[in-house]
Structure 1
Amino acid sequence: MISVENVYGDSQKTKKSGDNMNILILGDSLALPRPHRIKEFDPINEKELAVHFKETYGFLLEQQLRTEYPSADISVTNRAQRFSTIKNIAQQFWDHLFYFEPDVIVLQVGIVDCWFRQDLDGKQLVNAGEFDLYYREILKLLEKRPETKLIVIGICPTSMKMEQKFPGLLEQISLYNQILKNGENFHQVFFVDMETHVLPHAPNHFLLPDDHHLNKQGNQLVSTLLLPRIKAFYENVNGCLHYEADMTASYRHFLKSYELFPFYGDNLYNLIYLSFQMEDWATTAELIKFVRLNHIQHPNLFNLIEMIKEHMNR
């Protein structure tokens, strides 16, 4: 028979409290406040910014999470730096991962890497091959702290105007995005696709006039896209913590996590296990079908499903 300990999932065994969540943002200037004209900004005479600190997606995310979970200790620490490349992130990732001890890392990087530079004779700061290698270094290091989740925000497409100025730039953005998406496993690494939201023919609904930095609406969009994933992580942890004392409450948390972000592998594992424990056969069958149809990857899901099949066939 399946052991009770499995309901926690490998990534949750060291989690002690569902009331705390430490979120860390790493990346480039897209996560930061920004003036209208950064090279000409005069802080003495210019008080209005294009994006103020309280309009950045990190601030918005923290406010929304605190509103939804008022009794929880939730923090968002923004460690983004202007002109950061994935190389810079990889070089500092050890410190961020083990010294800040984040529950969730939000990574937004790539536009600085892939942009064609006139001062480099049209070359990129980090080519696609190097970008892939540095990203793999980050993912390999992330495995050493399995309780930390990584949400990777895809690169926003630029405008057709920039594409005409730098032919092939949109293709490069898609290529770098595919590298980032390839790391997604729905267990520890998650990808947010921005190409479905920011359109090259009308980018300034979400981007500033420079056609690559987020405007106020763009920051709101990113916060909105991040929120259900992070809430799903939070609900899953609380489901684990309630399991021994109140199985019904635990089940509610897992179901809530599934409603928020159904592709989350840890929660699917826990929900399938508990629905089976509670003899909710219809839900168990529905969830197993969902896993198979969507090819959800998780270190323990396959073994769990096989054990359930074996038990049901006895």
Structure 2
Amino acid sequence: MISGKKILILSDSVALARDTPETCSFENTWPYLLREKGYMVHQVSIGGATSTDLLNQINYHTGFNPDILILNVGIVDCAPRFMTKTELGIMKRIPFIGNKIIGLMNNNKVRQVRKISYVSIGQFEKNIRAIINYFKGIQILILGIVPATIEYEKLLPGITENINKYNKVLNNYGHFMPIDEIEQDALMSDHHHLNAKGQKYIFEVINNNVMKIMIK
């Protein structure tokens, strides 16, 4: 029986409703649509979360005892950065000087030279493996990172390559669900968050895959 299955969602902000840069209501999000389908959903979605952040939250949610885990993470991990999180933290402690330094470094030339991501690909793989090891014996579905548009690559050079690399890691674990066929008009103007059309597309991908694995 599909209806009533317990689903735990671990995700960044891609699964959340939002008002910027455009609006996507709570009722249009794919976790809400899964609830409407009859699944019992426990959603742990954190804006700006990396795989490290989600891993650190797991102990609070294993007691839900899900039948299915849906993991949706990676864009925050892999995006090219001009500073590490630690460096940014230091700059924020000295706001007068720090803000000037951030302003000088926040450009694509610095990103291309430094080649920094918040989570290295090696650490990303360790995190994904660790998350999965918490949930042995259940079905694990992993959403691919939303592919970069041409415009996104222009804004953030290197994002396409990074997304492809991190998606290859995700493809090695659980039941991987690529979303390469998502249409550009399913994305908001920031090129990685989903509008209502994108949320519905993700819901359909997930629902179809859940039905496939549960009837085996």
Please tell me the TM-score bracket, short chain as reference: 0.7 to 0.9
Aligned residues: 187
2:176 aligned partner, one-letter code: F
Q: Which secondary structure state, in structure 2, belongs to the residue aligned with residue 26 of structure 1?
A: strand
Q: Does 1:24 align with 2:8?
A: yes
Provide the TM-score with structure 1 as the length reference.
0.56
Q: Does 1:130 align with 2:123?
A: yes
The 2-side partners of 1:150 and 1:96 are apart by 15
Gaps of 5+ in 2: 85-109
The 1-side partners of 2:29 and 2:76 are apart by 19
Shift of 1:233: 4.4
User: What does residue 141 of structure 2 align with?
Assistant: 151
| CA RMSD in angstroms, aligned pairs only | 1.9
> Which of 95, 107, 112 is 2:60 aligned to?
95
- Cα-to-partner distance string for 1:165-202 (whole Å, 9 max, x where unaligned): 3222101101000000011xxxxx2111012x136xxx
Provide the TM-score with structure 2 as the length reference.
0.79
User: What does residue 54 of structure 1 align with?
Assistant: 27
Shift of 1:29: 0.3
> Which of 224, 227, 241 is 2:204 aligned to?
224
Gaps of 5+ in 1: 1-16, 38-48, 67-73, 184-188, 235-256, 258-266, 268-314
Q: 1:53 to 1:18 in 2, by over 3 A?
A: closer
1:22 aligned partner, one-letter code: K
Shift of 1:164: 2.1
1:103 aligned partner, one-letter code: D
Shift of 1:18: 7.5
User: What does residue 80 of structure 1 align with?
Assistant: 45
- Cα-to-partner distance string for 1:55-79 (whole Å, 9 max, x where unaligned): 000111221x23xxxxxxx311221
User: What does residue 78 of structure 2 align with?
Assistant: 114
Q: Which secondary structure state, in structure 2, belongs to the residue aligned with residue 219 of structure 1?
A: helix
User: What does residue 102 of structure 2 align with?
Assistant: none
Q: Please say which structure displays the higher CA radius of gyration.
A: 1
Higher relative contact order, structure no. (Cα contacts within 8 Å, ≥ 6 residues apart):
2
Q: 1:36 to 1:18 in 2, by over 3 A?
A: closer
Identical positions, percent: 28
